[in-house]
Structure 1
């Protein structure tokens, strides 16, 4: 089967050590993030959060230091090139990573190996929606860091890629007015994607039900900016027993996306902003058919006492099919349920360079999932839906095809 080149809507970038020295205004650099290499001690993942210690005699690790806090890079988030059993919770330096993790030219080469034409990359040190800066004490510096990251993302990471690296920007989560200004600033230079928290209340922020975020949603709608929400962008992962191994959180990770989708379907946000587009990243899609069935059933049977009779005038699934995108990389159940998931709603990802990444076998993984589907559907879920979602101009791409 001749597969079209893939447009991946969820990959990741390891920030280069020079990012803030280069892009942060000089007056903020002393108070901004600083790179260092130092030994790491114990590193564990407990209850959906990382815990670590430093150790001068430990494994050399690249870190960021910011406001007295340390942020290590871990092998599991720069896992490509390692054997599966070597993808552990150890510290890692950029020198030990595959260069495509942080070098845009090398990333393009690895994308070619993976049959990928274009890629949208989430941040690492800032965390998936910029929580690192939202938690900072000095918000003046934090705002400068958000803008510096976005400038680096647009001009350096994506700038010379010929449109193959797609910019994904941050907002200052702590101030919706500043968030709107940053959406507009980046949209003016062609950015069409912003990362946001799947469950903002977990970050101590207002919920989407309060109306607080409406100016942000309005700005995204008006500029055609897609609101991208990665699992874990609430700084929490679903957990069962507090002492369960990390494999439990990994298995349950889709729960965050499911909770967030239910929030949006019953919030009225998609009613008030009918051209707003949401994208759920790394949540897979096999859960979506039942989530929509249940939401519609609740709307039909429980809308009066459930508080949504006047807020959501139509069955919730209709808003999903009109405005929401999901993505997958290993989800044969989801593909088997594609009519319910939505042939116009499903997109593909590679998760490079995380431990879950399909690289360098992405083409084969994609083929295993789409074999038996018609050519139009294959084109939609591997590239066409992503091109439409993000408003990409890939008509002159390597395979000579656009949306």
Structure 2
């Protein structure tokens, strides 16, 4: 069997640690995202020695150990190094998102967010354009000012990039009609839309962001014995709360008719896993379908004895299932998902098993390079295990074919 053409939907560009401190407007540099490395004696035997600390309002103090799967090399801003790593992992092309700068790109301080975006996108134009045949960096677009968002979309698409990164938690809602200007600009520029986990919702005046509170609580739980309460809370946060953001994005876009009005656009949700997608598409369709046994003449509400017994008079009474028949678009929600939405996963057997409910094209694979929670260095092993028994054409679509078609990556000709 020939090797699959593999396109990872989820990689990260590790920005130079001083990128924003040196390129932001001078009056913003003290509030810019920057990082620093420090070395300690291992906290556990054989453990990590080198750590990296993030500095940015709302996330100040976020600390991680060096990505050990890079064998000591940290591929900061080096596309040639990235390509070497992709080759070693059997990945032919990769969509690559910002790394820790994600936390400074989408805040309620528009001047700060757009300045970060302009610097980062300028860096991409300067450093990554020659590698577009294999690396597709997503260009972050803050939505705190629509004029600036449209201008930045036009700048990066004119330069040659066709992948845009919008916040998972936007400052408005994705059913806001004002965002049609953003969708128009993306379509006119030939771009596609991505949303990555942990983007948006940063309040610059909140010294301890919700994400940092979660990080600290996770550390506290890991370093203590598991209790019935902590076990239940982990199940709830990992299984329920973590799926709310991507589900809301999909519901808002489909409910607003965005995929109906902009059929050229594809919307990819990255690093949210995909096990929840089958229940979402089923529930969305069910919300607009009168099922067998549901009486369309069943009334519910509050009867007004002082009003006429007419539809107009009893305005607080309704045939509750009548709403199920008022879906305003020609396709059902699940059909828009199958046509224009893609959800990435790394290791998610439930998503693979449910592919015929969600649609095969709705699932895309990503290694999360070079993050420790991803599959880098072992991606081929993961793919072989995850897709046992899956027909060749379906596996090939999920691990690369679908995203290659959406983004125009050239696949080798089949014999």
TM-score by length of 2: 0.74
Q: Is contact 1:108–1:161 with CA below 8 Å preserved after alignment?
A: no
In structure 2, what is the equivalent of residue 384 of structure 1? 401
Match of 1:206 among 165, 172, 176: 172
Task: String of CA shifts for 1:213-266, please: whole Å, max 9, x gaps.
Answer: 1211221222232211122224567x9999847854344423432232223222
**Alpha-carbon offset, residue 104 of structure 1:** 2.8
User: How many residues matched?
Assistant: 354
Distance change >3 Å, CA 290–CA 151, structure 1 → 2: same
Q: Tell me the distance in 1 between the aligned counterparts of 2:274 and 2:105.
A: 30
In structure 1, what is the equivalent of residue 277 of structure 2? 288
Q: Does 2:140 match 1:152?
A: no
In structure 1, what is the equivalent of residue 6 of structure 2? 6
**Alpha-carbon offset, residue 10 of structure 1:** 0.9
**Alpha-carbon offset, residue 349 of structure 1:** 0.3
- SS at structure 2 position matched to 1:208: coil
Q: Tell me the distance in 1 between the aligned counterparts of 2:366 and 2:273.
A: 10
Map 1:1-400; keep pairs closer than 5 Å.
1-20=1-20, 23-24=23-24, 32-37=32-37, 61-66=51-56, 70=60, 72-75=62-65, 79-81=67-69, 98-100=73-75, 103-127=78-102, 132-135=104-107, 137=109, 139-140=110-111, 142-156=113-127, 158-161=128-131, 163-200=133-170, 205-235=171-201, 244=230, 247-248=234-235, 249-252=237-240, 253-301=242-290, 304-305=322-323, 309=326, 311-392=328-409, 394-395=410-411, 400=412
TM-score by length of 1: 0.76
CA RMSD of aligned residues (A): 3.5
Residues 28-37 or 211-220, more deviating:
28-37
In structure 1, what is the equivalent of residue 297 of structure 2? none
Q: Tell me the distance in 2 between the aligned counterparts of 1:71 and 1:183.
A: 32
Distance change >3 Å, CA 378–CA 401, structure 1 → 2: farther
Q: Tell me the distance in 1 between the aligned counterparts of 2:387 and 2:377.
A: 18
Q: Tell me the distance in 2 between the aligned counterparts of 1:254 and 1:364.
A: 27
Residues 348-357 or 226-235, more deviating:
226-235
**Alpha-carbon offset, residue 324 of structure 1:** 0.8
Q: Tell me the distance in 1 between the aligned counterparts of 2:145 and 2:189.
A: 19
Q: Is contact 1:7–1:118 with CA below 8 Å preserved after alignment?
A: yes
- SS at structure 1 position matched to 2:361: coil
Structure 1, gaps ≥5 residues long = 41-58, 83-95
Distance change >3 Å, CA 63–CA 279, structure 1 → 2: same
Task: String of CA shifts for 1:160-205, please: whole Å, max 9, x gaps.
Answer: 53622212101132101111111111111221111112232xxxx1
Distance change >3 Å, CA 179–CA 113, structure 1 → 2: same
